[in-house]
Structure 1
Amino acid sequence: MSTDTAAQTGKIQPRLKQVYRTEIREKLQEEFGYANPMQVPGLVKVVVNTGVGEAARDSKVIDGAVADLTAITGQKPLVTKAKKSIAQFKLREGQAIGAHVTLRGDRAWEFLDRLISLALPRIRDFRGLSTTQFDGNGNYTFGITEQSIFHEIDQDKIDRVRGFDITIVTTAKTDDEGRALLRHLNFPFVGRNDQA
């Protein structure tokens, strides 16, 4: 759907998605020499996950994690339950131990835009994200230690500090392709100027 078609239907396209379609796609095609434009790596989904180990002792802790994830992503999270009972961790099968949200389409693009331009710059002493956390297939996972970097979280209502794992799933076949895609999307990687 082109920007003209989007304007006719009244649907506003996310800013980062527009930049990807108009500029980044062409740059990546030139950089890697793809014959077909469908080979250019793109964004599939963004998964935001949090584990709540304290939920084994206090079941109300999971409610705070669900509320935080809902505020940050704008989507109701799915509660993760234990598959097995583990006596050492005082964990029973079926007990809530975490929550995760899978964002696709425009929601994923908007979340990434907010993450890159608003949330990550608010991290204290932030020097950039590591470039080594790719999984071998062009997908990138990193952790955030506290939820307060997101503007959607009310600082006064934080009951406890929670961290999140964020996984960005792309159509890239290799880590180099995935790294190039995220670099063009302005991900703040460590030593970014050396690689650009």
Structure 2
Amino acid sequence: MQRLKSFYITEVVPSLSEMFSYKNVNQIPRIEKIIINRGFDESCENAKILDILVNEMNVISGQRVVVARARKAIASFKVREGMPVGMFVTLRGDKMYSFLDRLINLALPRIRDFQGLNSNKGFDGRGNYTIGLSDQLMFPEIDFDKILKVQGMDISIVTNCKTDKEARFLLKCLGMPFN
């Protein structure tokens, strides 16, 4: 069992049930999935750059990514049909807890001048939290010498919480560094 998952079961579940006084065990909030998303620009038409970016994302997430391709051609955006426009991966279960543990304890503290994540702007009103990262160099799995292009990503943490207050407390108990 992952370290963060066992911490959630032993420490976070009792504190959540005490704080919000849930009557049923199934009412206690939990993290459902984590979605990592990255968009492309014109330089990714090159297959070599695309393969390198996909491999980076595979290493970061620990799972194979899906390359999203354009369904229709849009001339004003210089997009042709079938052209790669982004990639995403959905993590669930043990891989999700492993990635979240690495994100909280290894990657976020490596950001230069890191003061904590903004706890007011990232929530969507339904208990989901989204982080926008500007580059991939903060992850320890990435080798600085093999980077061709610095590119950011969006990380969405989807919970089954009803309110942002519950989700904020859940993520804070798991160790998310809010300011």
Using the size of structure 2 for normalisation, the TM-score is: 0.95
Query: 1:54 matched to which residue of 2?
Result: 42
Matched, 1:181 2:170: yes
Q: CA deviation at 1:88?
A: 1.6
Aligned equivalents of 2:54, 2:30: Cα separation in 1: 29
Q: CA RMSD in A?
A: 1.2
How far is the alpha carbon of 1:170 from its aligned partner?
0.7
Letter of the structure 1 residue corresponding to residue 172 of structure 2: R
Query: How far apart, in 1, do the equivalents of 2:166 and 2:41 lie?
Result: 35
Q: How many residues align?
A: 178
Q: Work out the CA distance in 2 between the residues paired with 1:76 and 1:54.
A: 23
* Higher alpha-carbon deviation: 48-57 or 147-156: 48-57
How big is the shift at 1:81? 1.0
Deviations 1:23-76 (A, max 9, x none): 100100111111111101001111111101225653443222211100101111
Whichever residue aligns with residue 187 of structure 1, its letter is M
Aligned-pair CA distance for 1:97: 1.0
Residues 88-107 of structure 1 mapped to structure 2, 5 A cutoff: 88-107=76-95
CA separation of 1:178/1:123 partners in 2, compared to 1, >3 Å: closer, same or farther? same
Asked whether the 8 Å contact 2:44–2:50 carries over to 1, the reply is no
Distance 1:39 1:171 in 2: 9
AA at the equivalent of 2:15: K
Larger displacement relative to structure 2 (80-89 or 170-179): 80-89
Tell me the secondary structure at the aligned position of residue 106 of structure 2: helix
1:120-157 deviations in Å (ceiling 9; x for gaps): 00000111111121111101011111111001111110
Cα distance between partner residues in 2 of 1:160 and 1:46: 24
| Residues 112, 15 of structure 1: alpha-carbon distance in 2 compared, 3 angstrom cutoff | same
SS at match of 2:154: strand
**Contact in 2 for aligned 1:52/1:61 (Cα 8 Å):** no
- Structure 2 unaligned spans of 5+: none
State the partner residue of 1:42: 30
Is the 2:35–2:157 Cα contact (8 Å) retained in structure 1?
Answer: yes
Aligned counterpart, 1:30: 18
Give identity over the alignment, percent.
51
SS at match of 1:80: strand
Query: Following the alignment from structure 1 to structure 2, what is the Cα–Cα distance between the partners of residues 164 and 41?
Result: 26
What corresponds to 2:149 in structure 1? 160
Q: Residue in 2 aligned with 1:146?
A: 135
**1:65-144 superposed matches below 5 A:** 65-131=53-119, 132-144=121-133
Q: What secondary structure, in the 3-state scheme, does the structure 1 residue paired with 2:73 have?
A: coil
In the TM superposition, residue 177 of structure 1 has moved relative to its aligned partner by: 0.8
Q: CA deviation at 1:77?
A: 0.2
2:16 is the alignment partner of 1:21: no
| Inter-CA distance 81–55: structure 2 relative to 1 (3 Å threshold) | farther
The CA distance in 1 between the partners of 2:131 and 2:160, in whole Å, is 18
